[in-house]
């Protein structure tokens, strides 16, 4: 029965993780209330699940990796609520709630290693995992391209063209306005983020079928992927909260793009999994 409560908590944590982004990035009070209520229900069901699990096992301490992960997720969520209650700092939820979901998601699959019902289902999940991550990488590439074009267009506009300089910049007359390039860069970033998140969640499901266990997440590619997700969140948060636009926003997009390149480089070093490996 405790798995039912834990799965309900995982669903609520995922919904709260979605709601926290418009609440923090756009300052929407309605989404803030939704996020807090969903996260509060998730913590309640999570606590009930932990108590019921320990009572059924006739012990007071968790045993095993999945039980420890679940307890750690509960501790992260509880600490977030304490900080929110004392300081009303819901911004920390943009990191704490997704982290809690990732910690709870794996134990909610069951006490044993998860197995797919058929090879076809596994391949479908694998294709979805690869496709989601590739789409996020493409979105980052578009954002980086728009940022580079922004810098070029900005330099072109700021230069006071003489007859010679006008001919030098003339081949770039086709460039869109600065505001358009800024909106393209930001929109592609926001589009790529949920794709990367979905890809990592599906990857966590696929990891449960491997015999490697927790060592799977020590793979350099997996570590780099989660680091890129954290950097991605940081970029979105800074751009929205600090109101970064123009050149500084373009430089930050370049930093995320560099992290993405590092993820692809880690793919060459990975002995656990690669996009082309079965």
In angstroms, how far is the first alpha carbon of the chain from the final one?
Answer: 35
Res. 34: pLDDT tops 90: yes
Q: Which of the two residues, 15 and 107, has the higher pLDDT score? A: 15
Instruction: Tell me the H-state helices in the chain.
Output: 2-25, 29-57, 65-87, 93-108, 119-158, 163-169, 178-207, 220-241, 246-269
pLDDT band at residue 15, thresholds of 50, 70 and 90?
very high
How is the chain split into domains, by residue range? 2-108, 119-269
Residue with more model confidence, 201 or 64 = 201
Whole-number Cα distances in Å, 133 to 7, 46, 60, 194, 246: 25, 29, 40, 10, 27
pLDDT in tens, 214-257: 555 566 667 777 777 887 887 777 776 655 666 677 777 777 77
Q: Quick one: DSSP state of residue 116?
A: -
- Average pLDDT score over the chain: 78
Buried b (16+ CB within 10 A) or exposed e, 140-158: bebbbbbbbbbbebeebee
**Spatial distance between the Cα atoms of 242 and 11, rounded to a whole number of angstroms:** 31
CB 206 within 8 A of CB 129: yes
Residue labelled with tokens 């209520």: 37
Reported as half-sphere exposure (CB side, CA atoms, 13 A), residue 178 has a value of 13
**Alpha-carbon dihedral of residues 214, 220, 226, 232, nearest 10 degrees?**
180
Q: Structure tokens of 176?
A: 């869109």
């Amino acid at each position: 029965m405790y798995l039912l409560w834990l799965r309900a908590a995982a669903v609520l944590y995922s919904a709260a993780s979605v709601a926290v982004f418009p609440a923090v990035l756009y300052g929407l009070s309605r989404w803030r209330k939704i996020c807090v209520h969903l996260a509060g229900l998730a913590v309640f069901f999570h606590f009930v699940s932990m108590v019921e699990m320990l009572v059924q096992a006739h012990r007071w301490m968790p045993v095993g990796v999945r039980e420890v992960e679940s307890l750690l997720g509960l501790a992260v969520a509880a600490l977030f609520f304490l900080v929110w209650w004392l300081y009303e700092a819901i911004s920390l939820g943009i990191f704490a709630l997704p982290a809690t979901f990732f910690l709870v998601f794996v134990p909610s699959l069951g006490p044993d290693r998860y197995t797919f019902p058929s090879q076809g289902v596994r391949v479908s999940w694998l294709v979805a995992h690869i496709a989601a991550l590739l789409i996020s990488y493409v979105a980052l590439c578009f954002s980086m391209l728009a940022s580079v074009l922004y810098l070029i267009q900005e330099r072109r506009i700021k230069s006071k063209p003489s007859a010679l300089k006008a001919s030098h910049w003339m081949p770039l007359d086709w460039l869109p306005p600065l505001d358009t390039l800024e909106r393209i860069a930001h929109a592609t970033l926001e589009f790529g983020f949920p794709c990367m998140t979905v890809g990592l969640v599906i990857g966590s499901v696929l990891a449960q079928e491997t015999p490697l266990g927790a060592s799977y997440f020590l793979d350099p590619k997996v570590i780099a992927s989660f680091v890129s997700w954290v950097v991605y969140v940081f970029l979105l948060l800074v751009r929205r909260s600090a109101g970064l636009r123009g050149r500084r926003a373009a430089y930050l997009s370049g930093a995320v793009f560099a992290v993405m390149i590092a993820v692809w480089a880690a793919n060459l070093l990975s002995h656990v999994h690669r996009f082309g490996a079965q």
